Chains A and B, each alone.
Chain A
Amino acid sequence: MSNSRSARSGGSDSRFFTTTKKGETHELRLELQSPNRDKKKDAVKKVIANMTVGKDVSMLFTDVINCIQTENIELKKLVYLYLINYAKTQPELTLLAVNTFVKDAKDPNPLIRALAVRTMGCIRVEKITEYLCEPLRRALRDDDPYVRKTAAVCVAKLYDINAGLVEDQGFLQVLRDLVCDPNPTVVANAVAALSEITDTGGKDVMQITTATLQKLLAALNECTEWGQVFILDSLAKYDPVDGVEAEGIIERVTPRLQHANSAVVMSAVKVILSYLDLITNKDTERVFSRKLAPPLVTLLNSEPEIQYVALRNINLIVQKRPKILEHEIKVFFCKYNDPIYVKMEKLEIIIRLVSDRNIEQVLLELKEYAQEVDVEFVRRSVRAIGRCAIKLERAADRCISVLLELIETKVNYVLQEAVIVIKDIFRRYPNKYESVIGKLCENLETLDEPEAKAAIIWIIGEYAERIDNADEQLDHFLETFEDESADVQLQLLTATVKLFLKQPDTTQDMVQRVLHMATEDSDNPDLRDRGFVYWRLLATNPEAAKAVVLGEKPTIADDTFTLEPALLDLLVGQIATLASVYHKPPEAFVTKAAPVKDARADEAEEDFDEYEEEDAAEGSSMGGGGGGGAQESSGGNAVDLLDMGDLSIDSGTSNGGGGGGGGGGAFFAPSAAAPPMVKHQVCTAEQGQGLQISAGWANKGGKLSLEMDFANAGPAPLVSLAIQLNKSYFGLSPAQPQIVLPSPVPPGGAASYRQALSTAAAAAASALPMALNPALMAPPGAASPAQPLQCAIKNMTTGAVIYFSVPMDVSNVLSADGQLDKATYLSYWKAISDALEVQSVITDAPGMDVKAVTAKLAARNIFFIAQRDAGAAQVAYYSFKVAGALLVLLEITVQPGQIAVCVRTDAQPYAQPAKALVESILRS
């Protein structure tokens, strides 16, 4: 049967993909003009096949549009498909199709009417919208529900293109009327459209009343599963007047828990959970919440992806209402064929549900998991055992003995993980389990991960008096002090000091050595600071040192991954959304702002007026003390950097010798050796209308940031600044448009710059991370990579706008972490399509061989990967990274007299500038 059909249609649709001959466009054009309908249809199919594989067939626009006048619905659909794709590129020509749309919207066939309205809405051409209004108004009142439901969605489309038009035309009211439509699908789409408009427009256009509520509940039983999800979600936003109404709604929603579609179940759970708080009668509440358990558990029998979503949500639910699933722990035990991401989530829930009643069973399970193959899962299982011990005091003994059994297996990563959790157990139950220290110390040699090392060092320092050879053990670690990670170094420093306080006679030499390494040899400011604190404490008052270093530590509880109550409540309100899967509030990841803009320049040309408003709002919320986590952390950064900024300026102008007292001078002395970056004064107080700025580029961990010191010589305190950069070679843009200083900088008077800085009260420093933004790229040829970057800063207090430029060097922008290994390089190279490659040949560069090229490029942070010989030519490969974000791959072919440069990067706008940059380096 299938043979006969494929013969009839001459093969299959895939044959449309195969024509790649020359003159194809011409052929297609002829076929499109063919009077034979089937031929015409086939031609349009070929065009669409080309479109699908990414070929540009926009030159056939007129020919395809000419096919629109057809009675054949199949052909019409194909043309519309084409039109939606290319309308934006040919807005003028698209107008030709308008007549057909308007005519189709009056067609006797409802399918064609709906098709016209649906397609018109998808054509995002501003000019077409005015023609859309009349057909849309008619369609919203159409007799056929299929047309009405299509029209309802179309209102949302139109709102996105031209919100004002929708409001002026009164379409919102019509949508609200459609919520009471007799057809449930129309209701569902109207709800969806209103909900989207509420979301984008920012004001509630939905307004559920008692009357609409009844309509929604009635439609809930009738409409499709997706419609049910829409309606349930809008119910979740409704505030019932009292517990009785809430109860009524819950009863109507409860049958949805038996739906086969997990999305319906999840949304029903969300409605019930959000209304449950309103119910005052405890018994009723218990009955309702008990009904949630079986459907939630049933979700765990679905496909793994559904299970994952369910588990992330259950994680929130058991934190909020632990009783619901308290007896169901067994269903969360891992199956051997669960995907790893499901296993990890199950583990989390097991820990939440573990209790004295089921701990035996849980430990048996966890012990099994700790011997599986997947390393990460094994680690988490070991950690889980420790967390059980911390959570359940009575079970701690058993947990410890399981951990000891696992240590016996001598599996490296099991051991490391066990050491880490045992450290936590010590902190939770001080002076109870120290007998196991001996066992741990037997395995010191195998520990090679920083976290495990830090843990064992902490244990040695803390319990030095119980370990016979604590000094030898620490001494052993000290041998490799310089190679250790920062965490381990800090722990070593503290542990050595602890040991010294406990056994001063034998360890004086050791402590001096470690203090020396920490304060003299290290670049890490944390380590230096801590080293100095200990040094001075030990030197001036050993008793105080004891009180500080050996003081009682607060015991800890297992709150890993436990959410703040406020965040938890927020997330429980977001059950059944991505927020509940990520465990992050929606604002943290929703960025639906930018539909790819056609006019990129618009964005770049936004001026300060817009920022001003945002800033005012932001500033007042800060003043109210409601600073969010993100702001706090950026504040923290700034404080850290303040120290560095101080130091580097001190060292740069050596005659100052540090502004503070003698003690301070001693503190700062060792740092003079390591100024990591140079800041230039870019703006004097006079140019800056009272604001003095020095700035420089810093490249930390591959992230490019602009670091700035501010001194305030103006009359008003400096609170926040807005910043904007000019278009530049690589399109650098600030990661956030404003700088909020950790604490306001009071007016520092017109006193000298140095003083203003060293008192720190009148100065502040800020590091502004940079991002790449193609919209901010300077037009080709207009800029060079070494040109200073133009900045504008606006002082939000005084309103003064200051312009300055910051000198830069290519090697500032190219990060030091651009080196790839061969395999990674190769996989990236292959992953970027050939079409994105740009290349050129330069003949005017000085004669060089690959070695010389490599040296030249290396000086600018462009890294050599590999090279091969290809006849007379030599081909070498390089990689570099721009501003820590954009990876560029390079292939250079060196031949006598010419050098060919070929660049690949996935960020297409950067390919040309990157190539030009390389060329200029080679020519230099």
Chain B
Amino acid sequence: MIKILYFAGLRESIGSSGEEIALPPGVSDIARLRAHLAARGEPWGSLATARNLRTAVNQRMVDEGAAVQDGDEIAFFPPVTGG
């Protein structure tokens, strides 16, 4: 299983703060995972259309080529605006 988290505006547009799913076959990196999640249709369409979406794997920011493994915690979120 992998744990997926959504934050801020992305969380609101999806209508969920996260989900747990089995690691889909053939999904080995962030870009493929994002495409897989978005391909399920609404309400996950914004995963495909959101600009500058950021990703963290196990609470570290990564780029789209980062590997995804069973047991990972993966977070998708808009660019940060703290401070």
Do these two chains interact? no
Residues of chain B touching chain A, judged by Cβ–Cβ distance below 8 Å, are none
> Which residues of A come within 8 Å of B, CB atoms?
none
